[in-house]
Chain A
Amino acid sequence: MTWLIARREIVANFYSLRFFLSLSLAVLVFGVSSLCFYSQYSQELSDYSRNITREEERAAAQADNLGRLALHDRLLYPRPRSNSFLYQAMERYLPNLFAYDAFQIVEFRNREGGGNPFFPQAEELDWLFIISLVLSFGAVVFTYNSISGEKEQGTLGLQLANNIPRPAFLLGKYLGAMVSLLIPLVTGMVVNLLVLLLSGKVGFDSRLWLEVLTFAGISVLFLSSFVLLGLFVSSLTHSPATSLVLLLFLWVILALLIPNIGGILASDLQPIPKQKEVMERASRVRSDIADSAPEGTWDREEQNPFRPSHRLRAQTLNKMLEAELRIRRDYYNRMFHQLEFARHLTRISPVALYKYSSEAVVGGGVLRFRELMRGLESFRQMLLEFVTRQDASDPDSPHWINPEEDLFFTRKPVDYRIVPRFDEGSARLSRRLTEVTLDLGLLILFNLLFFWLAFVAFLRYDVR
């Protein structure tokens, strides 16, 4: 029975204008998205390879003095993601350039010239955008009259006069709407993938296919939540015009407003200091340590590296760096807490949950930033250990590891090929699963909640 209702729904939708418009829009937008992605990805790859080569050359030029190499500010450019056609995760606006040496991650910032500064901040035309805004809108349009429309036409009473249980009827409607929505979704995805496969620029390996499939699965779950919301609202009202208005305004709130309002609210409710203020505080603490340093610390006599004042200076500078890093770490923690708070505020919207789950699936955005910071910190420690090991074997070095001056530990040349190199890799699967659990769980919960609400509302629905 359920399938019969679903089939009738699918056939009715199939010949409807809304189906034609959804399909056309999905194919058009998915097509444009793939063409644009292809051209931008090629550009990003060539920029990336140029930047990486230049950075390698810069670092290799310092290899004639290991001390200098340890203090050399290296730049890390994150590799363009081949799966960013699924979701770009606002990486264009997030910090995407890291400077580090063997002692610290000096800074992270948004790469200048990473995008046109004259464009207002906006979403990217990726799969997530199309599904979360265009197809979720399609879900609203497919379901707003599922129940109230049948009632208005007088067919609801007739159908339920037969031996059709209400849950089966509701399930049939749900399946019908889902299949009608999945046709534009799958067609659009196939068009997009075909363009990318034919372009040959994106290397489709098993990992990428797995990501595409997982992303598609989450997308279905997300669209299902909007279909169920549509059925719920349709079961609440007795006129399709009312349910449409209600649904459209709900869609505006859930899809456009709530996912973006988190940042503003979190800055207001849980403020953190400005970057500038943090840096000023760090600078003050550094000055205090410098001022209270033992006498002779700042005597610089570079001709004799074994002079005791150099040891004092190395100790003081290490202390200053530690104090500064403590302040910076505290700020980073507050930054992450504020972001998490902002995200919690928006988790009442399925669109926000869909975004966060997708971010974990593609391993991009804030998750990638966190992973990069963590990976870079481990790598930096490894680099320092390497430098310390090399320094230990140099009899001409006073072994006073100094985070700012290269004169007081080994100055011997090093074979650049044996110097450790940072490899970003992609976020570990276990990490992605941990990240996705909460949001995916909530998305499933939203589905269950909307289904239950629709079910209860429909059970109490007056079909006359």
Chain B
Amino acid sequence: MWLIAKKEFLLNILSFRFATGFILCVILIPLSVHISIKHHEERRSSYSREREECAEQMRRIYTYSYIRPTILRPPEPLSIFNRGIESTLGNRVRIQLGQIPFLAEGALQERRNPLLASFLSIDFSFIVTVLFSLMALLFTYDAISGEKERGSLRGILANKLSRDKLLLGKLLGNTLTLLPIITVSFAAGLLLILLSRRVEFQQQEWVRLGGLFLVTFLYMLLFMLLGMFISTRTHSSTTSLMISLFLWVLLVVVVPVASPYLAQSLTSVTSREAVDQAAAELNREFRAKVREYEETLPEPEWDISFGGYYGVDGSHLEVASPRDVMENRRLLHSFQEPLRIEYADRKWRIQQTYLDEFLHQQRLAQRLGWVSPAIIFRDIASGLTSTDVSSYLHFMQLARRYRDQIINYYQSRNLFSSYAYFTQQKEEEMKSLDELIDYLTEGRFSTYKELSEGRDFWGVVKEFTRDLPRREDLPYLEIKDIPQFSWQREGLSNFLQGSLTELSIMVFVPIVLFLLGYVSFIRYDPR
């Protein structure tokens, strides 16, 4: 067996196909890794900058209602090997009370030229799926049929060599030929990563990279065994070559494109516009309920606000408004914010159904794609490099959990019904409108009524130099106990659980192919 393997190995490494394949891999793989490293570095620096901006934003808040942190998912270092869908989906989520994290943002803003989307991205795993599978077939398509055609098969089997040993020897020889190509390709990629110094690999990344190497090997082994099986089914190397090549085009080129296309045709998804419309309808209903409640509140004598600022999602600052206005706002918030959360839940039910439809479609495409080892490889590689759908969903899940923590933070401290939610004024410091007028006009007018009679109210107020504090004069809120978001990548066990079917196919199909090849070879007529 070793002799056969050695002969096969020596013949292979001296062949033109080995030289061409090797040169191509040695050029293309470092090139793709180099480009991916640059891409990763750029995303990494964008991430750091944005993270700084988000932290700064959180430092510059005036009231509790402004606690709307933006969370970011850091770019995956292993996306250098497989970009997956990580860069096409967003990595940023703004935590809001009125919206449960639905789809992440940020992918578009990072883009430089949207027209370049007409080009597909090429990465390490793309080159592996195409080149390695092609090479594996080119090395094995004539393993048996070629020997028979040359007449050497009969000669070999006339000796005391069992057929299983011949088959194993051939497999071993071809494996020994192709293994250095994989190893050199990975080594070249790793060298570039180590030289770049800006890509940080932790222990887990090395483990995952080891997994990727193993899966790459299994992928190539699968195609080698497919080639050998075809070779044992035919008696001419041309026939086995044709079958191998057409099967390759079907499995590596056609099925990966056809399976999502087919899944999209077989299952329909509600249009995004319909989902947005339903959400907008709920928003309108929410606002109507708030207005309705507002009408039931005791009205302030004069609804005048000195420095009232309103932002999105109920963020609100009242700098120095009269006591009754403050009370009105407090009551409104204590009703409005829990209702906002309730409506977010109702919107989420619609949005979740929409997401589930997409996921169902994606799973269907995945299952249809199980006939193609290229898709299986890509799925496993995406899982290993955390650039797959599951990693994205995990991030969104964490975002939703974090939102729950923020809500819990508000609720446990009764912040929605507190003044602190929208103002920095202490209750005991609050003044009535008349007291404020008296203060502002330095005693010239003691009531609002007196001041506003036949005069332009704001015009008179502006005449006085004595001013109430402005927003710019207010200190930022120092809150140390706000829950912090921490990104935790899905563990390897989750990956193994999620990719069990794909991994099983990757392991068992080569075994089945070997057995089929073996049975076929036993019945093979070497004459």
Interface residues of A (CB under 8 A from B): 16-18, 21-22, 25, 29, 32-33, 35-36, 39-40, 43, 47, 50-51, 54, 89-90, 93-95, 108-125, 129, 133-134, 137, 141, 241-242, 244-246, 248-249, 252-253, 256-257, 259-264, 266-268, 271-276, 335-336, 338-339, 342, 365-366, 369
Select from chain B the residue with minimum beta-carbon distance to A88: B261
A276 near B116 with CB under 8 A, answer: no
- Closest chain A CB from B380 CB (angstroms): 14
- Closest chain B CB from A279 CB (angstroms): 8
Interface residue? B120 (CB, 8 A): yes
Give the residue of A21, A109, A268, A366 whose beta carbon is less than 8 angstroms from that of B118: A366
Contacts of B119-173 to chain A: CB distance below 8 A = 119-122, 130-131, 134, 138
Chosen A-B contacts, 13 in total, with CB atoms closer than 8 Å, are A21-B242, A25-B254, A29-B258, A39-B265, A110-B114, A113-B271, A117-B89, A118-B392, A245-B20, A253-B24, A260-B119, A273-B112, A339-B118
Among the interface residues A90, A121, A264, which one has the most CB atoms of the partner chain B within 10 A? A264
A119 near B246 with CB under 8 A, answer: no
With contact pairs A18-B242, A112-B272, A116-B358 given, residues A260 and B138 touching in the complex (Cβ less than 8 Å) = no
A264 near B20 with CB under 8 A, answer: no
Given contacts A245-B17, A252-B24, 7 further A-B contacts (CB under 8 A): A17-B242, A116-B260, A118-B392, A119-B260, A252-B131, A365-B118, A366-B118
B245 near A137 with CB under 8 A, answer: yes
- Closest chain A CB from B120 CB (angstroms): 4
Residues of chain A lying within 8 A (CB to CB) of residue B417: none
A275 near B108 with CB under 8 A, answer: yes
Q: Which 9 A-B pairs have the closest CB atoms?
A: A113-B272, A263-B119, A93-B117, A39-B265, A36-B265, A263-B116, A118-B362, A276-B109, A21-B246
- Closest chain B CB from A228 CB (angstroms): 20
- Closest chain A CB from B510 CB (angstroms): 23
A271 near B245 with CB under 8 A, answer: no
A137 near B253 with CB under 8 A, answer: yes
Select from chain A the residue with minimum beta-carbon distance to B357: A116
Interface residue? B257 (CB, 8 A): yes
Interface residue? B468 (CB, 8 A): no
With contact pairs A252-B131, A256-B130 given, residues A264 and B122 touching in the complex (Cβ less than 8 Å) = yes
A116 near B361 with CB under 8 A, answer: yes
A245 near B138 with CB under 8 A, answer: yes
Give the residue of A90, A134, A268, A276 whose beta carbon is less than 8 angstroms from that of B249: A134
Give the residue of B84, B88, B120 whose beta carbon is less than 8 angstroms from that of A260: B120
Give the residue of A43, A261, A274 whose beta carbon is less than 8 angstroms from that of B111: A274
Instruction: For the complex, give the distance between the alpha carbons of A125 and B258 in Å.
Output: 6
With contact pairs A17-B242, A119-B365, A134-B254 given, residues A264 and B112 touching in the complex (Cβ less than 8 Å) = no
Interface residue? B103 (CB, 8 A): yes
Residues of chain B lying within 8 A (CB to CB) of residue A248: 134, 138, 245
Give the residue of A95, A123, A262 whose beta carbon is less than 8 angstroms from that of B114: A95
Interface residue? B275 (CB, 8 A): yes
With contact pairs A36-B261, A89-B118 given, residues A110 and B108 touching in the complex (Cβ less than 8 Å) = yes
Interface residue? B339 (CB, 8 A): no
B242 near A121 with CB under 8 A, answer: no
Instruction: For the complex, give the distance between the alpha carbons of A50 and B38 in Å.
Output: 43
Contacts of B84-108 to chain A: CB distance below 8 A = 84-85, 88-89, 103, 108
Give the residue of B21, B109, B275, B365 whose beta carbon is less than 8 angstroms from that of A249: B21
Instruction: For the complex, give the distance between the alpha carbons of A120 and B254 in Å.
Output: 15
Instruction: For the complex, give the distance between the alpha carbons of A267 and B113 in Å.
Output: 8
**Main secondary structure on chain A at its contact with chain B?**
helix
Residues of chain B lying within 8 A (CB to CB) of residue A21: 242-243, 246
B117 near A338 with CB under 8 A, answer: no
Interface residue? B14 (CB, 8 A): no
A268 near B35 with CB under 8 A, answer: yes
A244 near B111 with CB under 8 A, answer: no
- Closest chain A CB from B54 CB (angstroms): 14
With contact pairs A134-B253, A257-B28 given, residues A244 and B118 touching in the complex (Cβ less than 8 Å) = no
A369 near B273 with CB under 8 A, answer: no
Select from chain B the residue with minimum beta-carbon distance to A108: B114
Residues of chain A lying within 8 A (CB to CB) of residue B116: 263, 266-267, 338-339, 342
With contact pairs A134-B249, A244-B241 given, residues A110 and B262 touching in the complex (Cβ less than 8 Å) = no
A252 near B358 with CB under 8 A, answer: no
B273 near A54 with CB under 8 A, answer: yes
Residues of chain B lying within 8 A (CB to CB) of residue A263: 116-121
Residues of chain A lying within 8 A (CB to CB) of residue B115: 94-95, 335-336, 338-339, 366, 369
State how many residues of chain B have any CB contact under 8 Å with chain A.
69
**Main secondary structure on chain B at its contact with chain A?**
helix
- Closest chain A CB from B132 CB (angstroms): 11
Give the residue of A25, A121, A242, A259 whose beta carbon is less than 8 angstroms from that of B88: A121
Mask: chain B, 236-258; 1 = CB below 8 Å from A; 0 = not: 00110111011001100110111
B262 near A36 with CB under 8 A, answer: yes
- Closest chain B CB from A18 CB (angstroms): 5
Residues of chain A lying within 8 A (CB to CB) of residue B121: 121, 260, 263-264
B273 near A50 with CB under 8 A, answer: yes
Instruction: For the complex, give the distance between the alpha carbons of A133 and B245 in Å.
Output: 13
Instruction: For the complex, give the distance between the alpha carbons of A133 and B117 in Å.
Output: 20
Give the residue of B110, B249, B359 whose beta carbon is less than 8 angstroms from that of A274: B110
Residues of chain A lying within 8 A (CB to CB) of residue B256: 122
Among the interface residues A93, A116, A137, which one has the most CB atoms of the partner chain B within 10 A? A116
Residues of chain B lying within 8 A (CB to CB) of residue A272: 112-113
Residues of chain B lying within 8 A (CB to CB) of residue A244: 241
B249 near A335 with CB under 8 A, answer: no
Residues of chain B lying within 8 A (CB to CB) of residue A120: 84-85, 88, 378
With contact pairs A118-B85, A257-B28 given, residues A339 and B113 touching in the complex (Cβ less than 8 Å) = yes
A117 near B88 with CB under 8 A, answer: yes
Residues of chain A lying within 8 A (CB to CB) of residue B122: 257, 260-261, 264
B117 near A121 with CB under 8 A, answer: yes
A141 near B258 with CB under 8 A, answer: no
Interface residue? B290 (CB, 8 A): no
B269 near A246 with CB under 8 A, answer: no
Residues of chain B lying within 8 A (CB to CB) of residue A342: 116, 119
Residues of chain A lying within 8 A (CB to CB) of residue B254: 25, 29, 125, 133-134
B112 near A274 with CB under 8 A, answer: yes
With contact pairs A121-B88, A122-B120 given, residues A17 and B239 touching in the complex (Cβ less than 8 Å) = yes
Instruction: For the complex, give the distance between the alpha carbons of A33 and B257 in Å.
Output: 11
Select from chain B the residue with minimum beta-carbon distance to A92: B117
A43 near B262 with CB under 8 A, answer: no
Select from chain B the residue with minimum beta-carbon distance to A21: B246
B17 near A109 with CB under 8 A, answer: no
Mask: chain B, 10-29; 1 = CB below 8 Å from A; 0 = not: 00000011001100100010
B275 near A264 with CB under 8 A, answer: no
Instruction: For the complex, give the distance between the alpha carbons of A109 and B114 in Å.
Output: 8
Instruction: For the complex, give the distance between the alpha carbons of A16 and B238 in Å.
Output: 10
- Closest chain A CB from B187 CB (angstroms): 22
Residues of chain A lying within 8 A (CB to CB) of residue B266: 39
Interface residue? B264 (CB, 8 A): yes
Instruction: For the complex, give the distance between the alpha carbons of A120 and B84 in Å.
Output: 6
Instruction: For the complex, give the distance between the alpha carbons of A382 and B111 in Å.
Output: 32
